[in-house]
Amino acid sequence: MEKIKIAIQKSGRLSEKSLELLTECGIKVSNGNRKLRTEARNFPMEILFLRDDDIPQYVEQGVADIGILGENEVWEKDKEVDMIEKLGFGNCRLSLAIPKDEEYTGLDYFNGKRIATSYPKILHKYFQVKGIEVKIEELGGSVEIATGIGLADAIFDIVSTGSTLLMNGLKEAEAIIKSEAVLIGNKNLSPAKTELLDRLLFRIKAYKNGQGKKYVLLNARNEVIPDIVKLLPGMRSPSILPLNDEGWSSVHSVISDDDFWDIIDELKRHGAEGILVVPIEKMIL
Ligand code: ATP
Ligand code: ZN
């Protein structure tokens, strides 16, 4: 039976989350993290552990069929691969940063400046479109020290909280693009592999849909049910089931974490009782 080959980061910020995603999709990977490759126990899948930088090329060539890595790396490598699905983790942004005592006057500030980065392609395109001339110093890593050692006037790098910048006497001047982990795929997958990819994707979406949501069950008197239903969006509309107690019903619905407490407060105010909140593991729409 044909197997789908997935490339994930061997060791780094995306490794754990990538494996966790597979686990959430019910795919058991025997933890051979140190090995270069391993097989899933209950899904026709082979897992390749690679440096994230190499994943786009391997997927383009078909050494791996699909891969998980940051969008930033996909854009920089600019290979012929399909962006299949955003995965909702590994969020960060690529930003221009300058020494903290400099006065930032807008993008023109960078005119003629030397900028150190591991993302020369993205940076070059960005300034080309803006019509601003900059000198790009390509570095493999430790970009944040480039201004301190006099290699560059500014840097273009990944920022998540900004604490690394601060530690190196820098401040964020301009956030250029946002990035998160994505699933990419080879452009010429066989029908058998496409089917495996679809099965995986179905599970990934079910997992993603459940993220950030809660299942709510509550009881209320029938006369307040219309008010309560208005407060609950649900997938289509809430389910309403009669209780054994005459005049009472139970309402079931899905609410998002963002407005969770506000909705709960309102529900109570409108007479909801016995409110039960449960996490959602998967949601198939
Ligand atoms: P590799 O050895 O695989 O080349 P790396 O050093 O290039 O690893 P990591 O630092 O592990 O990469 O980051 C992998 C990806 O995680 C980044 O490309 C980015 O998409 C994402 N990421 C999310 N938050 C951050 C962050 N705060 N710093 C760096 N990367 C982050
Ligand atoms: Zn890398």
Domains of the chain, start order = 4-90+180-209 (3.40.190.10), 92-179 (3.40.190.10), 212-279 (3.30.70.120)
In this prediction, residues 141-152 reach a mean pLDDT of 95
Please report where in the chains the tokens 């990934």 appear, as a residue. 204
> Residue 79 above 70 pLDDT?
yes
Instruction: Identify the residue whose C-alpha is closest to ligand 1 atom 21.
Output: 90
HSE at residue 162, side-chain half, CA atoms within 13 A, is 11
Summarised one tens digit per residue, pLDDT across range 204-221 is: 999 999 999 999 999 999
pLDDT over threshold 80, residue 233: no
CA 74 to chain centre: 14
Position 31 pLDDT exceeds 70: no
pTM, entire model: 0.89
Task: With H, G, I as helix, E, B as strand and everything else as coil, classify residue 208.
Answer: helix
Ligand nearest to the CA of 7: 1
Any residues with CB less than 8 A from the CB of 113 and at least 6 apart, and which?
134, 135, 152, 153, 154
How many A from CA of 125 to the centre of ligand 1? 21
Best probe residue, ligand 1, of 68, 73, 92 (max atoms within 8 Å of C-beta): 92
- The protein residues having their C-beta less than 5 angstroms from ligand 2 (an ion) are 52-53
Average pLDDT, integer, range 3-23: 96
Atom of ligand 1 nearest to the CA of 90: 23
- Per-residue pLDDT at 37: 92
The pLDDT of residue 234 is above 80: no
Select from 9, 10, 11, 13 the residue to mutate for testing ligand 1; criterion: most ligand atoms less than 8 Å from CB: 13
CB distance 119 to 94 below 8 Å: yes
Indicate if the pLDDT at residue 25 is higher than 60: yes
- 239 has a pLDDT exceeding 80: yes
Across the chain, the runs of DSSP E, i.e. the strands, are 4-9, 37-39, 45-50, 66-70, 82-86, 92-99, 114-117, 135-138, 154-159, 170-179, 181-185, 213-221, 239-242, 248-256, 273-279
Q: What is the mean pLDDT of residues 95-121?
A: 97
- For residues 257 and 211, the answer to whether their CB atoms sit within 8 Å is no
What is the per-residue pLDDT across 40-56, written as a single tens digit (0 to 9) for each?
999 999 999 999 999 99
Q: Hey, whose CA ends up nearest to atom 23 of ligand 1?
A: 90
Tokens (6 digits) for 33: 């993290």
C-alpha to C-alpha distance for 66 and 86, rounded to whole angstroms? 13
The pLDDT of residue 165 is 94
pLDDT of residue 32: 62
Atom 29 of ligand 1, residue of closest alpha carbon: 158
Q: Which helix (H) or strand (E) holds 120?
A: helix 120-130
pLDDT given at position 74: 98
